[in-house]
Chain A
Amino acid sequence: MREKIRLNTPFSDRDIEKLKIGDEILLTGIIYTARDMAHKRIVESIEKNEPLPFNLKGQVIYYTGPAPARPGRIIGSAGPTTSYRMDPYTIPLIKAGLKGMIGKGPRSKCVIDVMAKYKAVYFAAIGGAAAFISEKIKKARIIAYEDLGPEAIWELEVEDFPVILINDIRGNDLYREGIKNYRR
């Protein structure tokens, strides 16, 4: 296994070309949260040519709906949610310039193919480790869809946010490969 890789957001193609499945990566910079309802609205805005809550070019979306912050804390617990629910909305986002996604669980073949074609990557964060992950978030503010409650879009400033590369830009999938070494 390689050393942990430090990576800043937003991404250029060059940043992600070298990444391999199973790589442990520490992300630093701005990422945006979005889950089911926020995706639905972003896709509707893309279709109608309306302005988006943030420019997708080179950006990373984190599939999470944080818990409310206790007073004195930056954000509540914020672990990944299951990604396949976002698959039906993902392709237009990648076409609009999205370069990275963080969630948990496998993506559809369509999404993996589009990631390869447009050069985008998919990472997993540790599901259920939401308290641990929240401590990697240094700043947080809601920038859109506040009416959606836990599904609002947050802009997060993260530091050494730990993720594992699941899908690289060559169509590889850690969930398919990893299991092969341990299946008996």
Chain B
Amino acid sequence: MRKIKADEITKIVKNLCMETNYYLPEDILDHLKKGLKKETSPLGKKTIEIMLKNAEIAAREKIPLCQDTGIVVVFVEVGQEVVIVNGDLEKAINEGVRQGYIEGYLRKSVVSDPLFERKNTNNNTPPVIYTRIVSGNRLKITLLPKGAGSENMSKIAMLKPSDGIKGVKEFIIQTVKEAGPNPCPPVIVGVGIGGSFEKCAFLAKKALLRKIGEHNTDGRYARLERELIKEINNLGIGPQGFGGKITALAVNIEYFPCHIASLPVAVNLQCWVSRHKQIEI
């Protein structure tokens, strides 16, 4: 058995909250730069230039890239040989978010009740936590602060198996088209196909963690991803919706077996400020 102290987890989460919000991941930076070369719209080009400048300022000044520092989504993989001591996992993660958002000068964007009071919790807790028990003695924490602009444009559909590939493609493209400028394009399109109602939404979220430029290891899904990004960029939405060629930086599909009568599809849109980072101990 390997012991991991709860306060060590708190520290990791706290640092991840700050780092994800200050530093744009390298793969996003690279693909924005590539997009800048491909974009032919003058306004689109200027927009991407400002995005790159923004990333520079945020990193230099240690201030958030976007004022919407999101609700925190945490994926935890706990090795079954790990014992957490001096506290418990969820409390430790909560405390990390609280400290990170207060000490990091990040915006507190969480309300305690979605419908009635909508009172700000003032420390950005609670995060949304997904825990998975895996083999081994490691602990992996992945943090993804998710802004509402893109989250609000995300969609799920319970398609019929007969809708097939064509139906799935149409739903994904339609979701991006209807979202238009709102999710802050160029976007990352996370897609979950299969599983159950909630599983495909979870897969769509997880798809956002994949490195930009990498494709699904299954060639059929990889091909679908390539077709979709081409068609999405042909929509003409462009950076920030001002019109242009670069509407999406990636389409990432994750899939799971499903019921004989089902074809669930979820599209989780992510803005160009696609913040996430993983730490393994």
Contacts and interface: CB of A to CB of B under 8 A. Distances in A.
A59 B245 CA distance: 35
Interface string B154-198: 000000000000000000000000001110100000000000000
A177 B64 contact: no
Interface string B99-139: 00000011111000000000010100000000000000000
A76 interface: yes
B54 A128 contact: yes
Q: Interface of chain B, helix or strand or loop or mixed? A: loop
Contact of A129 (B54, B68, B242): B54
B122 A179 contact: no
A131 B22 CA distance: 9
Contacts, number: 163
B143 interface: no
Using C-beta atoms within 8 Å of the partner chain, give the interface range for chain B.
35 or more
Contacts of B54: 126, 128-133
Interface in A144-184: 149-150, 162, 164, 174-175, 177-184
Contacts of A105: 149, 180-182, 241
Nearest to A1: B42
Q: Interface of chain A, helix or strand or loop or mixed? A: loop
Contacts of B107: 65-68, 76, 150
A7 to B, nearest CB: 18
Interface string B212-254: 0000000000000000000000111110111111000000000
A178 B105 contact: no
Nearest to B102: A68
Interface of A: 1, 22, 24, 64-70, 73, 76-79, 81-82, 84, 104-106, 124, 126-135, 149-150, 162, 164, 174-175, 177-184
Interface of B: 40-43, 46-47, 50-51, 53-54, 57-58, 61-69, 105-109, 120, 122, 148-149, 152, 180-182, 184, 234-238, 240-245, 271-273
Closest 7 CB pairs of A and B: A178-B243, A183-B236, A182-B236, A127-B184, A132-B54, A131-B58, A105-B182
